Structure 1
Amino acid sequence: MDHKSDISARPPGPDGVARKAAGQPLYLRVAATLKEEILGGLHPVGAQLPTEHELCARFAVSRFTIREALRQLRDDGLIMSRQGAGTVVVPAAAPDLYVLHAMSINDLLTFTTNTRFEIEMMKMVTLDDPLAARLDLQAGDEWLAIRGFRHAEGMEAPVCWTEYYINREFAAVGRLLPRHAGPIFPLIEDLFALSIGEVQQEVTAVLITAEQAARYQVDEGTAALEVRRIYTAADGRIVQVTVNIHPAARFRLSMTMRRVKP
């Protein structure tokens, strides 16, 4: 029996998908199995994946689950759906492309957990008018500013330039940051017994500055994406504002939106 026949002969249903991700939603487990097959060469570049109907039968899952799994593979840059041509395997994305999948506040933990933040400056600053307008905060207020580059394993150039602005009520967290490797907002939640209830996100097109260009290893004026996030506590206080600037060719932000019934 050849390798393809062996894969196809797996028992259908949840037992036929990647076992190592048993705690994940079913569509992610189906996507993981198909991703392993694509990267392993079972479905080479240019080949068509089985139809949705065939995948439903193989895994004994609904068409919705298969469509969500295929969406995940498209977000990962592994497949492309073409009208009249089905779903086709495409060359994998370049290794220096950083993809953030965002469906909830918890997904933001993944972005920082898998990277290293190199602090270049940390001090209290008084917001002048231009900075306050950029952050959508009140001019004249004091905030703890932390700035530096974020790095991902296996990538030579930085993932992004990052600026953190921490409400002065929580500025004491700064003492822990030189030895802290993970995201900052869960640390604030733990230290001050509060909960982040909302994150407002805004993406703007900007240009790489001369100062950033050398570190990013790109030309000055290269297109970039500025992602600003405002973290608000359950009591309405703004706890943290984060600004990440990514060279556009190296970053993709993937968000999933679902219809909410009235």
Structure 2
Amino acid sequence: MQRIPRYLQLAAELREEILKGDFAGGRQFPTETVLCRKYDVSRYTIREALRRLEAEGLIQRRRGSGTTVQPAAARGGALHQPLSNVGELLQYAQGSEVVYERQGHGPLPGEVAVQLADPTDGEWTAFRGVRRHAGDAPPIAATDAYFHEMLGDAVEALDLGAGTLFSQIEQLAGVQIGKVTQDIQAIAADPAIAAALEVDEGSPVLRILRCYFDPKGRIFEISVSHHPGDRFAYAMHIDVEA
């Protein structure tokens, strides 16, 4: 299974604390020295974690005046998803919870297959789950996940309450992720999505369609997630090559 760098783990931990409201907006964030001591990591690790949080708009760093939490981030309540590599995909769900339910086994639904240019032949096992920050909090995502029959018995061994499914498949099936593609589209919530997300029918939602490929270019997992417009933030940072 792909090892997640410590700075990404730390960024996820700090992100969770910020979005839970543990740090008031506009107030001073702990210094690098304090964070190094608290998490027992190097200054480089701290700086890389903070660099990602700044790119996501969660904190602001100014030379000579320290680091502060952006007021909107301190209010919490939204799922804030970073993306620059597969490791961050593994981390984004921290601080939220979901229990998936098996929906059946058969061909990929036509409304999903029609959106894909790659072959989707064969049988797929479907799961569905609604993600929340905790308890009675409003839903932040409704996700349908599909696993191809090439994964064999590994699909039956998935822990449906573990929060993420694809992070388990690498180990259970011995499959490696070669690449991940995603398509993001703003749509109006249909009756089923509106009911799952507890929003009005026709409300704006973001649909994120992800395909997970093995190194041979075969799709082994597909996920379709719908997020309420006011409970989701998406951030991406790009390192510019010299």
Normalised TM-score (structure 2): 0.71
Q: What residue is the counterpart of 2:15 in the other structure?
A: none
Q: How much has 1:258 moved relative to structure 2? A: 1.3
Question: Does residue 15 of structure 1 match 2:7?
Answer: no
C-alpha deviation, 1:244, in angstroms: 0.9
CA contact (8 A) 1:151 1:160 kept: yes
Counterpart of 1:184 (choices 165, 181, 186) is 165
Tell me if the contact between 2:103 and 2:127 (Cα under 8 Å) persists in the aligned partners.
yes
Matched, 1:144 2:110: no
Shift of 1:126: 1.3
2:25 corresponding residue in structure 1: none
Instruction: Indicate conservation of the 8 Å contact 2:158/2:168, yes or no.
Output: no
Q: What corresponds to 2:72 in structure 1?
A: 92
Equivalent residue for 2:197, pick from 216, 219, 224? 216
Residue 240 of structure 1 and its aligned partner are, at CA, apart by 0.7
Q: Which residue of 1 aligns with 2:12?
A: none
Over 3 Å counting, the alpha-carbon distance change for 1:19 and 1:167 in structure 2 is same
Find the aligned partners of 1:103 and 1:218 in 2 and give their Cα distance: 30
Q: Deviations over 1:149-171 (max 9, x none)?
A: 12222661112110111111115
* 1:166 counterpart = 2:184: no
Structure 1, unpaired ranges of 5+: 1-6, 32-67, 82-86
Residue aligned with 1:195, SS? coil
1:256 is the counterpart of 2:237: yes
- Distance in 2, matches of 1:70 and 1:143, equals 36
**Residue 202 of structure 1: SS of its match in structure 2?**
strand
Deviation digits for residues 176-221 of structure 1 (CA, Å, limit 9, x no counterpart):
2355514222322112222112111221111112223234232111
Residues 89, 185 of structure 1: CA spacing in aligned structure 2 closer, same or farther, 3 A cutoff? Answer: closer
Aligned length: 207
Q: Is 2:238 the partner of 1:237?
A: no
Work out the CA distance in 1 between the residues paired with 2:169 and 2:100. 18
Query: 8 Å contact 1:118–1:151 — kept in the other structure?
Result: no
Which residue of structure 2 aligns with residue 75 of structure 1? 57
Note if contact 2:193-2:226 (Cα within 8 Å) is conserved in structure 1: no
Q: List gaps (5 residues or longer) in structure 2.
A: 1-27
CA RMSD, Structure 1 to Structure 2 (Å): 3.2
**2:172, 2:69 → 1: CA distance?**
47
Distance 1:158 1:121 in 2: 19
The match for 1:193 is 174
Larger radius of gyration between Structure 1 and Structure 2 = 1
Report if aligned partners of 2:142, 2:196 keep a CA contact under 8 Å in 1: no
Q: Specify whether residues 231 and 121 from structure 1 end up closer, same or farther in structure 2 by C-alpha distance, changes over 3 A only.
A: same
| 8 Å Cα contact 1:173/1:188 also seen in 2 | yes
2:4 match: none
CA pair 154-127 structure 1, distance change in 2 beyond 3 A: closer
Tell me what 1:117 maps to.
98
- Residue type of the alignment partner of 1:75: G
Q: CA deviation at 1:16?
A: 5.7
Q: Aligned partners of 1:225, 1:218: CA distance in 2, in Å?
A: 13
Cα distance in 1 between the residues matched to 2:139 and 2:147: 23
